[in-house]
Structure 1
Amino acid sequence: MSSFNEYHLNPEQFPFLKSFQASWQEIRDEFTGFMKQASDQELKITYDILGPKSKTIKTKGNSKYSAFGILFQGLFIEEYIQLHQIRYPDYDTDEASAKALALRQKYFPHLAKVIEQVNIDFEDLIRNVYFGTFHPGLDIKLHVNYNPHMNRGYLGLIVPEGDVAMKICHDKLYWQEGKFMVLDHSYPHCPHNYTNYDRTVLVIDFFKPDEPREQLRRFEQEQVRERMQDNPYSLGVFGKSDRALEEDFIKYGLAHQLEWDKALS
């Protein structure tokens, strides 16, 4: 196990994550209950509306990941859709918002309650909350998530044994069920799942607690505006700046990957 450093952070220094960790089994039960009980139509609506989608983060090969969530930029999904007046191919804004609210209330009441209480207690520190599933064979190309004012916590929910890991700078880190991995995603990283089973975590993006909140909100608003203009279905989570630069490969001793990644572009 790697020691903690500037990009692999000790979860104990973030007390607001403890409420999520204490409820990890209930959160996992809500996710697995949804996957078992949701109708085909509900699943379609979920991945159409609740899923942050990326046009910029690339995989090596055909295996993909899937994601859907209930909080984006500090707003529950139905509020976020209304604020940005997102229109979908199959739903107008009001219909999409109503369907998102119905799914959130039906399947994820406990998770929503935890989020709500933490953001009351810690002044809206939690920004994005979504489930992320790596399907077997997934290998994501080296990238960054450029927001120097944000950290990302992964709460392990379903983690198979074997080689499912996050490579970030010089470290290879492994998820564990019921525990957090916390990273500064402005450093280059590339996760993979070389097992035959799905891996699912709860992804929680949060402001760096010690930085001036107004500065953080200003940066977030500008970044989200740019990302939503380019891809409204990103829900402000992914964007064009989420690309590792050539100097990132070199700076972090990853130059051997550079030509390989260029060939896979």
Structure 2
Amino acid sequence: MSPEQYAITQDDRWKTYFLYGYGFKAEQNCTRCPETTNIIEQIPGITTAFFSILSPHKHIPKHRGYYKGVIRCHLGLIIPQPFFKCRMRVGNDVAFWQEGKALIFDDCYQHEVWNDTDWIRVVLFFDVLRPLLFPLSVINQYLISFIANSSLVKNGLKNQHEWDKRLEKTFFKIL
């Protein structure tokens, strides 16, 4: 769990399976998910992509993103029923995931998530560059590059490598 994720939730009932993060590719994970990786690689301006796995009866408290240069998308993959018990509030609006449908939002607005069902919720979570006119688009690209080289992302990469090692020792050995 990253320090940023830990600041939002202190338990392990929200898991992530990273594919891409600010220009860095999780090669092993992408190899394990070739069809998803192929689709992701066709999305223009993608900065981050991972599976977000929310355990039953988990609430992610209100929080907001740090940078307005990206737009967030959640593609519903496994959405437990009844759908209205698995939801997200962004600002004053409440949204419900549907399998095969995307929710697009600005994560700089305060948002929170609930899974009040007995099953896991899985979405493909990804960020794309916010469409901006020149010269703001160039400035945004520069800032994204700066973020990619920040300790925030470098620590995330380190945590991802450690997670990959633990996953390899446990889960994939069982299979």
Task: Please report the TM-score for the alignment, with normalisation by the length of structure 1.
Answer: 0.53
Matched pairs, number: 154
Letter in 2 for 1:169: G
State the secondary structure of the residue aligned to 1:110.
Answer: helix
Change (3 A) 1:233 1:52: farther
CA distance in 2, matches of 1:56, 1:150: 21
Shift of 1:188: 0.5
Q: Is the 2:71–2:105 Cα contact (8 Å) retained in structure 1? A: yes
CA distance in 1, matches of 2:157, 2:80: 33
Shift of 1:144: 0.5
State the secondary structure of the residue aligned to 2:8.
Answer: coil
State the secondary structure of the residue aligned to 1:177.
Answer: coil
Look at both structures and tell me which one has the larger radius of gyration over its CA atoms: 1
Shift of 1:209: 1.7
Structure (1/2) with the larger strand percentage: 2
Residue 147 (structure 2) pairs with residue 223 (structure 1):
yes
Letter in 1 for 2:13: K
Q: Is the 2:90–2:110 Cα contact (8 Å) retained in structure 1? A: yes
CA distance in 2, matches of 1:202, 1:52: 18
Q: Is the 1:52–1:69 Cα contact (8 Å) retained in structure 2? A: no
Shift of 1:233: 4.3
- Equivalent residue for 2:99? 177
CA distance in 2, matches of 1:137, 1:116: 33
Q: Percent identity of the aligned residues?
A: 23
- Equivalent residue for 2:167? none
Unaligned runs of 5+ in 1: 1-50, 79-99, 236-265
Q: Is the 1:227–1:234 Cα contact (8 Å) retained in structure 2? A: no
Change (3 A) 1:232 1:130: closer
Residue 138 (structure 2) pairs with residue 214 (structure 1):
yes
Match of 1:165 among 76, 79, 87: 87
Unaligned runs of 5+ in 2: 161-175
Structure (1/2) with the larger helix percentage: 1
Q: Is the 2:22–2:153 Cα contact (8 Å) retained in structure 1? A: no
1:128-169 Cα shifts (integer Å, max 9, x gaps)? 111001101111111101111111100000001131110111
- Equivalent residue for 1:239? none
Match of 2:63 among 114, 131, 143: 143
1:17-57 Cα shifts (integer Å, max 9, x gaps)? xxxxxxxxxxxxxxxxxxxxxxxxxxxxxxxxxx7672322
Residue 22 (structure 2) pairs with residue 67 (structure 1):
no
Match of 1:114 among 34, 39, 58: 39
Q: Is the 1:63–1:138 Cα contact (8 Å) retained in structure 2? A: no
**Superposition RMSD in Å:** 2.3
Change (3 A) 1:55 1:134: same
Shift of 1:114: 1.8
CA distance in 2, matches of 1:220, 1:234: 20
